[in-house]
Amino acid sequence: TPRGRSPWSGDLYGYGWFITDLAGERAYYGRGYGGQMLYVVPSAALTVVVTSRSVPPSEGGGYVRRLHRLVEGLIEG
């Protein structure tokens, strides 16, 4: 359930999860320290786990945008 909107990505946010649409599908993702990400796309029966080290952090959310594009490619795949 969305409780607000991220001022950085514009994605919805609620109870520890971000909510967005990727490749036309509703996607939920969580972010952790150093670039750790977990994506869940129920309609595509897809879960993606990313372990990485985003150092130095990318400016303006570029890292998250690149990961979103990666997951979109998997959905469309």
For every residue of 45-70, DSSP letters joined together read TEEEEE-----SPPGGGHHHHHHHHH
Per residue in 21-62, pLDDT tens? Answer: 999 999 999 988 777 899 999 999 999 998 877 666 666 567
Q: Quick one: pLDDT at residue 30?
A: 93
Distance of CA 23 to the CA centre of its chain: 12
The answer, as to whether pTM is greater than 0.75, is yes
The domain locations on the chain are 4-76
Predicted confidence band at 64 (pLDDT cuts at 50, 70, 90)? confident
